[in-house]
């Protein structure tokens, strides 16, 4: 009797155990991960997740941690050429997919991937594909490729009695490159593929795909902080940063419930500013052009002075900021010690960063190094502690070391923020531009 070939979506005990560790360390990698709209995910059929793609590997991990269900992903096919890596990716429930940049002959090989994807959906295992086809570290979006629609249409044809949904997902990171940032995940309104096809039965399959692509694009963009990726992108982002604190205060008055979650308030405030700018562009182009000029100049000054966007856009309560820096002063000896002990992680990250051309991979590299290297370092440090420090003090010392990577990072983050705040306070020209932006935008 022939041995059954193990499918990518099949249950794997070791994978399930690893998931607990991966999900746990992912939550430690961000100060706040917020999922909004999980109730929109259909429970009566097969699901294809369609997230925006801005932060390399971290995007997939954030989607994976959405719930405890295993999920199958796709990744570019060239990374599967190494047999060992191919086996690792199969274990991690990742399948290869060809892209147009690989050539039309290679893209034709996607038929096998589509068949496997359909098989995954038949088994009611959620399938995730990034329809933009590549990542972009911007609060914007790229044109959607047709792969997700080919998979959806073929799957629905082979599963006529099973509801199939494409679920748009929008991820909004506080920073694409900083460790221990924030991420807000918005679930958009699902597209029922079978219902869509029946409602557009008079169209050809190609026409149906084009209409669905427009629909999915709109729903994905409504789930993210979306800025059009044109010559005004940087200026628009700077205007949003300058205006967000004022917008948030106005939102708190009309929607007091937003006080419970700053991520939701900032998400809504930024999108309000983008809408206001679009309206100004149509109705009062002179004011819009002046805002773009001020935003562009502010962006250049802020970057040249190395001032964090958080100093501009986030209003920290004075008491909170004082307490954080008081904590930093009181725990400085401990912070210095853990910074030294986590130096191998920092040095290895720094070395690998010099080899990266794409900054978007920085958080992914940092996460993987912490995932693997810190447990190894903890074993080494624990052995040394047990040799030189008597029980039970050794246990206390080991417990104090466990959160070292987070404490070390938070220490440097607070120091960077303090320096950035001082730089902004000392820069009258930059603060003047932000003040003028708010005057125009809010007609003060």
* Tens-place pLDDT, residues 386-413: 999 998 899 999 999 999 999 888 888 8
What local confidence, expressed as pLDDT, does residue 1 receive?
A: 44
pLDDT at 429 over 90: yes
258 or 437, which is more confident:
437
Asked if residue 72 belongs to a domain, the reply is yes
Same domain, 301 and 323: no
Same domain, 254 and 299: yes
Mean pLDDT of 297-321: 87
pLDDT at 110 over 80: no
pLDDT at 444 over 70: no
Same domain, 162 and 78: yes
What local confidence, expressed as pLDDT, does residue 118 receive?
A: 87
Same domain, 276 and 146: no
114: CATH? 3.40.1130.10
Domain interval for residue 29: 13-221
Asked if residue 431 belongs to a domain, the reply is no
Same domain, 199 and 248: no
Lowest mean pLDDT among 30-34, 177-181, 375-379: 177-181
What local confidence, expressed as pLDDT, does residue 66 receive?
A: 94
Beta bridge pairs of residue 32: 182
Same domain, 24 and 157: yes
Tens digit of pLDDT for each residue in 112-148? Answer: 778 888 889 988 899 999 999 888 999 999 999 888 9
Same domain, 69 and 208: yes
Same domain, 44 and 180: yes
Lowest mean pLDDT among 81-95, 96-110, 192-206, 368-382: 96-110
Closest CA to 141 of 276, 233, 32: 233
Same domain, 83 and 168: yes
Asked if residue 55 belongs to a domain, the reply is yes
Joined together, the tokens standing for residue 99 give 């892209």
Closest CA to 29 of 301, 321, 386, 371: 371
What local confidence, expressed as pLDDT, does residue 322 receive?
A: 76
Q: Count the domains in the chain.
A: 3
Close Cβ partners of 304 (under 8 Å, ≥ 6 residues apart): none
pLDDT at 53 over 70: yes
Residue ending a domain, choose from 193, 221, 249: 221
Same domain, 182 and 67: yes
Lowest mean pLDDT among 3-7, 49-53, 207-211, 366-370: 3-7
Asked if residue 88 belongs to a domain, the reply is yes
Asked if residue 352 belongs to a domain, the reply is yes
Same domain, 33 and 126: yes
Asked if residue 110 belongs to a domain, the reply is yes
pLDDT at 374 over 90: yes
């Amino acid at each position: 009797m022939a041995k059954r070939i193990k499918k990518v979506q099949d249950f794997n005990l070791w994978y399930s155990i690893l998931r607990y560790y991966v999900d746990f360390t992912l939550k430690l990698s961000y100060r706040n991960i917020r999922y909004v709209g999980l109730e929109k995910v259909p429970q009566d059929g097969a699901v294809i997740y369609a997230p925006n793609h801005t932060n390399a590997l971290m995007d997939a991990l954030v989607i994976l941690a959405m719930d405890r269900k295993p999920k199958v992903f796709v990744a570019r096919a060239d990374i599967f050429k190494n047999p060992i890596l191919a086996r690792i990716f199969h274990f991690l429930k990742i399948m290869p997919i060809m892209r147009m940049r690989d050539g039309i002959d290679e893209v034709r090989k996607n038929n096998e991937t589509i068949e496997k994807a359909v098989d995954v959906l038949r088994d009611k295992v959620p399938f995730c594909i990034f329809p933009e086809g590549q990542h972009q570290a911007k609060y914007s979006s790229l044109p959607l490729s047709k792969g997700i629609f080919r998979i959806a249409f073929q799957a629905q044809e082979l599963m006529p009695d099973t509801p199939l949904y494409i679920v748009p997902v929008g991820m909004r990171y506080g920073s694409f490159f900083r460790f221990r940032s924030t991420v807000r995940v918005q679930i958009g309104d699902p597209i029922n593929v079978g219902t869509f096809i029946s409602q557009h039965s008079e169209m050809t399959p190609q026409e149906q795909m084009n209409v669905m692509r427009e629909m999915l694009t709109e729903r994905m963009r409504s789930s993210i902080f979306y800025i059009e990726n044109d010559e005004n992108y940087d200026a628009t982002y700077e205007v949003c940063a300058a205006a967000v604190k004022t917008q948030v205060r106005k939102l708190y008055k009309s929607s007091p419930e937003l006080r419970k979650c700053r991520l939701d308030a900032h998400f809504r405030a930024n999108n309000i500013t983008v809408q206001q700018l679009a309206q100004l562009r149509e109705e009062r182009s002179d004011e819009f052009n002046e805002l773009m000029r001020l935003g562009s100049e502010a962006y250049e000054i802020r970057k040249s002075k190395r001032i964090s966007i958080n100093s501009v856009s986030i209003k920290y309560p004075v008491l909170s900021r004082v307490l954080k820096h008081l904590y930093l002063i009181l725990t400085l000896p401990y912070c210095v010690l853990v910074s030294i002990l986590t130096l191998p992680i920092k040095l290895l990250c720094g070395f690998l960063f010099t080899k990266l051309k794409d900054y978007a991979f920085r958080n992914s590299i940092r996460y993987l190094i912490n995932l693997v290297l810190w447990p190894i370092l903890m074993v080494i440090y624990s052995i040394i502690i047990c040799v030189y420090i008597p029980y039970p003090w050794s246990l206390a010392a080991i417990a104090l070391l466990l959160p070292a990577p987070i404490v070390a990072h938070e220490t440097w983050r607070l120091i960077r923020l303090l320096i950035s705040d001082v730089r902004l306070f000392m820069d009258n020209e930059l603060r003047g531009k932000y003040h003028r932006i708010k005057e125009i935008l809010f007609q003060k």
